[in-house]
């Protein structure tokens, strides 16, 4: 059996602000406690006493590390719980007070803080205003604003250091601004612990929350400091643990692990000092600057934690950078880990007022204080390698490097919108269809780096902004040797019946005037076979756009569809301008499964002779279309494809030794990390998602019965690819669930 070969072999984890690995001595401490000190700290027998003593030891150490000899130090499950308890305690004490009417929090706080404020304000029925403290473009709190508003505030929440940008708050200045304020003060110390000195008592901080898993302890353990005399209301009542301040049997293994981390911190045994961390920071910053042209840091490094670098690269989205880094074994994140699943830009960068492109494409790189010099060496090496690969693949400007060539259709997407570049590699000529602002920077870079001759930049829809974008692209890409008025409003060369790109021919199909599409572009091959139709917004896979509008406009849509249906075959691949579910393409034949009204409707066209008949027919069509479209847009995609894990993949391989593994990662990712060895007979095909539609005609040949297994990094793209192909009628389309990242080296496939 061949060893599964996965590149790269080692992981460079640079996402420490999300969470950290557990220090070996912390693991050992937890294991030891689970074996030897398993007693319940509340029990009065010897086992319990041992457990209680262990806990007391850790608490005493935490007091020393945090420099708090008085007040409470409570073990909690993490910072979110600590924040809840602090907020509940503070707000409860404000009940009935008429000298305060608001609570304030930094605009860049972790969402745990504003959410807790709103939650407990509502639960306690206080009706206080919950107000953001603005921050400047460098992320610093607006202290003048704070001074003005602090006089009526009952609670002020400011983090010690930001988790996304690393911006360090000036707690001493905040303390001064609060001198005349009646407010209690909560400091989220999560990102500061182990990286910054904190003076909790000197600054009269009332509450401070900490989290173990951000500093090499396991998840599920944290600390809440409460100043002596500050109000404290337990959030959990029960068995009276933690002096009745936090009931529930204590998580002793995690407490012991946290103790081991605090011990390392106290003894300086494996944590780097400030100077060394600053050197690491500078080395990473230098590597990033040389790898990425035009890179900007989203917060000034000098006023940030040395362990956090937040940056954006013009023309490169954060997802692109994260995917490329991931392929090189570098783990970074975009925005905050908690919101990484959502596409919305970071609230932190928005609050700082950074330009849209920076907030939308930000990447966070963060390391922990136990990082070694060897680790930073390797990280820098891989960052530079990613930069070289990005240039080689034309994602960034290259000087003199040969850029990988492309052929056929490349799809650019952003926010559900799609734009296409049709390229003939032999003549190095290109036509762009439906450019829009979200893809323009990437598209310009992509075209420029390949030195493609852009013959036309076309729109399927006339007028308005769409025309401006295409015109902007025409200028940028130098659609040249043509006077500006020698193209029409859609960018089509006046007087030309078709555009030739090598053996491809592009012609236009006039659509009767209606709301969405003015024109459809038809792509034919040398044998005059119609291979693709670029249909703009006329038909969206799995949903019928026209139903969004009123009835009158809909009838125009129906007329346009009729016209399109008459010009293409039932199985012609139609490429949409809008494809939020990544269905890639649709056919009239395939859509009929999803939207049964389409099955009867086009065929019946010829029978509808009279305008009255047409109208009655269309009314039935309209109501069916509305039902289908609404359902399809809101429901789960039908699961016609098959998801397989490593075990079922092995079974599938036994049944179909000649199956095809289709790698849908982009070529740059494929270059940076190879595929595992799936076995000698397995065929491999590289079909990046951006060029996915090119492979469709081959896979959809009537008698093609090949078994396809799509793979990608996380299983997300491959699942979409398999679903798209299944929807188009392929019978054996599979996806590797969880992606290549879940295949571990003990899996062998032969």
Does 191 contact ligand PLP by CB under 6 A? yes
Residue 222 near ligand PLP by CB under 6 A: yes
Does 78 engage in binding with ligand PLP (CB under 6 A)? yes
- Which H, E and C letters describe 473-493, residue by residue? HHHHHCCCCCCHHHECCCCCE
User: By C-alpha distance, which of 163, 137, 157, 132 is closest to 336?
Assistant: 163
Q: Would you give the distance in Å from CA 663 to the centre of its chain?
A: 21
Residue number, 79 or 421, with CB nearest to ligand PLP: 79
Q: Which is nearer to ligand PLP, 299 or 327 (CB)?
A: 299
The structure tokens listed for 77 are: 């499950």
Segment contacting ligand PLP (CB under 6 A): 188-196, 424-432, 442-450, 636-644? 188-196
State how far the Cα of 165 lies from the Cα of 256, in Å rounded to an integer.
Answer: 31
Rounded CA separation 213/220 (Å): 7
Q: At 727, is the secondary structure helix, strand, or coil?
A: helix
Find the shortest distance in angstroms from Cβ 308 to ligand PLP: 11
Binding residue for ligand PLP, selected from 54, 61, 110, 141, defined by CB under 6 A: 110
Which of 338/343 has CB closer to ligand PLP?
338
**Total H helices, total E strands in the chain:** 22, 26
Closest CA to 520 of 512, 625, 605, 463: 512
- Asked if 195 touches ligand PLP (CB under 6 A), the answer is no
Q: Is residue 434 a contact point for ligand PLP (CB under 6 A)? A: no
Q: Which is nearer to ligand PLP, 78 or 715 (CB)?
A: 78
CB of 208 to ligand PLP, least distance (A): 11
Whether 338 is catalytic is yes
Among 75-83, 281-289, 432-440, 684-692, which window interacts with ligand PLP (CB under 6 A)?
A: 75-83
Q: Nearest Cα to 721, choosing from 744, 704, 742, 699?
A: 699
Closest among 64, 66, 124 to 97, alpha carbons compared: 124
- Angle between the 46-66 and 252-267 helix axes, to the nearest 10 degrees? 40
Residue 169 touches ligand PLP, criterion: CB under 6 A: no
Min separation Cβ 163 and ligand PLP, Å: 3
Q: How many residues bind ligand PLP (CB under 6 A)?
A: 13
Q: How far is the CB of 140 from ligand PLP (least distance, A)?
A: 16
Q: How far apart are CA 658 and CA 705, in angstroms?
A: 11
> Which range binds ligand PLP by CB under 6 A, 186-194, 195-203, 365-373, 562-570?
186-194
Q: Which of 27, 102, 270, 338 is catalytic?
A: 338
Binding pattern to ligand PLP, positions 311-350, x when CB under 6 A? ---------------------------x------------
Who's near 610: CB < 8 A, 6+ residues apart? Answer: none
Position 79 contacts ligand PLP (CB under 6 A): yes
Q: Does 262 bind ligand PLP (CB under 6 A)?
A: no
Contacts of 519 (CB under 8 A, 6+ apart): 459, 460, 461, 462, 490, 492, 508, 509, 510, 511, 536
87 touches ligand PLP by CB under 6 A: no
- 163 counts as binding ligand PLP under rule CB under 6 A: yes
Backbone angles phi, psi at 361, to 5 degrees: -120, 25
Q: Which pair of tokens denotes residue 265? A: 């911190």
Query: Which DSSP letter does residue 541 get?
Result: T
CB of 615 to ligand PLP, least distance (A): 59
Four-CA torsion 333, 743, 583, 312, nearest 10 degrees? 20
| Chain contacts with ligand PLP (rule: CB under 6 A) | 78-80, 110, 112, 159, 163, 188, 190-191, 211, 222, 338
Active site residues: 338
């Amino acid at each position: 059996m061949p060893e599964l070969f996965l590149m790269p072999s080692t992981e460079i984890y640079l996402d420490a602000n999300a969470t950290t690995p557990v220090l070996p001595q912390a693991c050992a401490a937890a294991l030891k406690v689970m074996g030897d000190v398993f007693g319940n700290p509340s029990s009065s027998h010897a086992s319990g006493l041992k457990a209680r003593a262990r806990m007391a030891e850790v608490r005493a150490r935490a007091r020393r590390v945090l420099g708090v000899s008085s007040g409470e130090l409570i073990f909690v499950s993490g910072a979110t719980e600590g924040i809840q308890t602090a907020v509940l305690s503070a707000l409860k004490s404000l009940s009935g007070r008429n000298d305060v009417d608001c609570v304030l929090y930094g605009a860049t706080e972790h969402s745990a803080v504003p959410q807790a404020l709103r939650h407990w304000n509502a639960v306690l029925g206080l009706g206080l205003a919950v107000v953001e403290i603005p921050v400047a473009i460098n992320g610093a709190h607006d202290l003048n604003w704070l001074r003005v508003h602090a006089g009526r505030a009952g609670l002020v929440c400011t983090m010690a250091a930001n988790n996304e940008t690393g911006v360090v708050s000036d707690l001493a200045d905040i303390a001064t601004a609060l001198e005349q304020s009646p407010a209690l003060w909560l400091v989220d110390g999560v990102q500061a612990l182990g990286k910054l000195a904190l003076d909790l008592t000197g600054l009269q901080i009332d509450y401070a929350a900490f989290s173990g898993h951000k500093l090499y302890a396991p998840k599920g353990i944290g600390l809440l400091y409460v100043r002596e005399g500050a109000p404290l209301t337990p959030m959990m009542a029960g068995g009276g643990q933690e002096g009745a301040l936090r009931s529930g049997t204590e998580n002793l293994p995690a407490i012991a692990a946290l103790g081991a981390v605090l011990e390392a911190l106290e003894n300086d045994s494996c944590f780097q000092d400030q100077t060394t961390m600053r050197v690491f920071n500078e080395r990473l910053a230098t590597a990033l600057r040389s790898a990425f042209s035009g890179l900007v840091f989203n917060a000034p490094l000098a006023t940030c934690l040395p362990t956090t670098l937040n940056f954006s690269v013009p023309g490169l989205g954060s997802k692109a950078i994260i995917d490329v880094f991931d392929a090189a074994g570098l783990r970074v994140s975009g925005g905050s880990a908690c919101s990484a699943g959502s596409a919305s830009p970071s609230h932190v960068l928005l609050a700082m007022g950074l330009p849209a492109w920076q907030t939308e494409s930000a990447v966070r790189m963060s390391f922990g204080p136990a990082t070694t010099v060897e680790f930073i060496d390797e990280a820098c090496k891989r960052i530079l390698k990613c930069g070289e690969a990005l240039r080689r693949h034309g994602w960034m400007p290259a000087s003199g490097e040969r850029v990988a060539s492309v052929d056929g259709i490349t799809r650019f997407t952003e926010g559900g919108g799609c734009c296409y570049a049709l390229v003939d590699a032999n003549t190095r000529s290109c036509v762009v269809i439906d450019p829009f602002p979200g893809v323009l920077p990437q598209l310009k870079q992509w075209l420029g780096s390949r030195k493609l001759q852009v013959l036309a930049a076309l729109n399927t829809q006339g007028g308005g902004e769409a025309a401006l974008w295409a015109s902007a692209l025409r200028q940028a890409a130098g659609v040249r040797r043509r006077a500006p008025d020698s193209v029409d409003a859609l960018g089509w060369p006046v007087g030309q019946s078709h555009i030739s790109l090598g053996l491809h021919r592009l012609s236009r199909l006039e659509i009767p005037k209606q709301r969405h599409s003015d024109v459809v572009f038809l792509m034919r091959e040398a044998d005059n076979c119609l291979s693709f139709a670029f249909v703009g917004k006329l038909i969206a896979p799995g949903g019928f756009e026209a139903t969004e509008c009123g009835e009158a406009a809909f009838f125009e849509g129906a007329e346009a569809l009729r016209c399109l249906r008459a010009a293409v075959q039932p199985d012609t691949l139609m490429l949409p301008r809008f494809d939020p579910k990544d269905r890639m393409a649709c056919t009239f034949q395939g859509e009929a499964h999803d939207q049964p009204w389409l099955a009867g409707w086009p065929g019946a066209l010829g029978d509808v002779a009279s305008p009255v008949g047409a109208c009655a027919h269309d009314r039935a069509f309209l109501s069916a279309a509305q039902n289908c479209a609404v359902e399809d847009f809101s429901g789960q995609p039908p699961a016609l494809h098959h998801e397989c894990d490593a075990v079922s993949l092995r079974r599938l391989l036994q049944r179909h030794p000649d199956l095809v593994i289709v790698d849908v990662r982009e070529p740059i990712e494929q270059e940076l990390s190879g595929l595992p060895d799936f076995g000698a007979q397995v065929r491999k095909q590289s079909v990046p998602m951006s060029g996915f539609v090119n492979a469709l005609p081959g896979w959809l040949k009537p008698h093609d019965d090949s078994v396809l297994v799509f793979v990608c990094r996380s299983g997300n793209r491959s699942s979409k690819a398999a679903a798209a192909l299944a929807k188009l009628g392929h019978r054996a389309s599979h996806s590797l669930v969880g992606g290549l990242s879940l295949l571990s080296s003990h899996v062998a496939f032969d």
